[in-house]
Amino acid sequence: MNYRTIRNIKNQFFMMTVIMSAVLVLLPLFLIIKFVFTQGMSSLNFSFFTEIPKPVGESGGGMKHAIFGTMYVVFLGALLAVPIGITCGVYLSEFRKSKLSKTLKLTIDLMSGIPSIVIGIFAYLVVVIPMKSFSALAGGVALSIIMLPIIIKTSEEILKLVPDHLREAGLALGLPRWKVILFIIVKGNLSNLLTGIILAISRASGETAPLLFTAFGNMYMSYEFNKPMATLPVQIYTYAISPFKDWQRQAWAGAFVLMILILSMNLFARYVFLKIKDKKGN
């Protein structure tokens, strides 16, 4: 065997390794999707969406309260995070070189790296302890801290793609800078900014750890922001570690609904982002 064949064999071997690793990465994805879909589909029924849990021992019941709770808590979180996030995104895209911009960028990089359980403890300390009760509001605060860096980053990226000549055109017409920012840059990109928000919402809807000791969870329908509230991920967690077969079945159904919800939001947002970038790139 001469030197050349050894090199060729090495080359072939490397290609095999690369392909194998791609299979290894995608295999768990397919397994998870397959199991969640088959288990979830067979466990899902109409009452899952229309009923609240039955007492232990009785079969049936659903997760209406948790589906509503997830929407409620995520909405509260978005209410806090969206205005602040977009404002910061505007600041970052319009004042790129200021010192504050650089500090803010570092801040959100570090903030997005905070473990979500630590954010949960923070929200517990600042909201639950003063209010003396677990509450949907505390869950909303925790989720808003998770959403904030995502919204800031995506809105900055989107607004940065606005070509400078649009800004200059506005200024050349004699518009003050605040009008250029509000009515040309922000208003002209509202729908694109919305995709950033959807991305943040899709991330927040799947979070469990920050809600464990903030929104906490319950077993009935609740509409009050200052009381504990069930959410889909926490409910799945409670059911998954329970010994009851019927509850485990419901956990699969819940995971199925959650996956559909999150993956569709996520894919939609990514698709729109790709389109924006393609359009602006050409």
Partner 1 sequence: MLKLKSKSQDALLFYILRLISILVIGLLLLIIYILFKSALPSIVRNGLSFILKSDWNPVEEQFGALPFIFGTLVTSVIALVLATPISIFIALFMCEYLPKSISRIVSLLVEMVAAIPSIVFGLWGIFYLAPFVKETLAPLLKNYFGYLPFFQGPSFGIGILTASLILAIMIVPTISSISRSIFELIPQHQKEAAYAMGSTKYEMVKLAIITPSISGISSAVVLGLGRALGETMAVTMLIGNSPSITKSIFAPAATMASVMANEYTDANTPMHIASLCYIALLLFIITFLSNLIAKTIVKKLSKT
- Given candidates 133, 240, 242, 273, which one binds partner 1 under the rule CB under 8 A? 240
140 phi and psi angles, rounded to 5 deg: -60, -40
Stretch that binds partner 1, among 60-68, 159-167, 185-193, 212-220 (CB under 8 A): 212-220
Angle between helices 64-94 and 136-160 (to 10 degrees): 40
Q: Which is nearer to partner 1, 88 or 158 (CB)?
A: 88
Q: Does 251 bind partner 1 (CB under 8 A)?
A: yes
Q: Which is nearer to partner 1, 26 or 223 (CB)?
A: 26
Q: Which two tokens stand for residue 169?
A: 């055109």
- Given candidates 177, 187, 275, 277, which one binds partner 1 under the rule CB under 8 A? 177
Stretch that binds partner 1, among 49-57, 66-74, 185-193, 266-274 (CB under 8 A): 266-274
- Whole-angstrom Cα distance, residue 265 to residue 204? 11
Q: Which is nearer to partner 1, 103 or 223 (CB)?
A: 103
Tell me the C-alpha to C-alpha distance, in Å, between residue 246 and each of 249, 250, 251.
Answer: 5, 6, 9
Q: Does 106 bind partner 1 (CB under 8 A)?
A: yes
The count of residues in the chain is: 282
Q: Which is nearer to partner 1, 52 or 265 (CB)?
A: 265
- Whole-angstrom Cα distance, residue 107 to residue 70? 28
Other residues' Cβ atoms within 10 Å of the Cβ of residue 129: 10
Q: Does 275 bind partner 1 (CB under 8 A)?
A: no
Q: Which is nearer to partner 1, 223 or 277 (CB)?
A: 277
Torsion angle of C-alpha atoms 253, 63, 150, 120, degrees rounded to 10: -110
Q: Which two tokens stand for residue 242?
A: 């329970």
- Given candidates 37, 47, 54, 84, which one binds partner 1 under the rule CB under 8 A? 84
Q: Does 1 bind partner 1 (CB under 8 A)?
A: no
- Given candidates 146, 253, 255, 272, which one binds partner 1 under the rule CB under 8 A? 255
Dihedral sign from CA coordinates of 188, 112, 130, 88:
negative
Q: Does 68 bind partner 1 (CB under 8 A)?
A: no
Q: Does 36 bind partner 1 (CB under 8 A)?
A: yes
CB 271 within 8 Å of CB 202: no
Q: Does 208 bind partner 1 (CB under 8 A)?
A: yes
Q: Which is nearer to partner 1, 223 or 244 (CB)?
A: 244
Other residues' Cβ atoms within 10 Å of the Cβ of residue 106: 10
Q: Does 29 bind partner 1 (CB under 8 A)?
A: yes
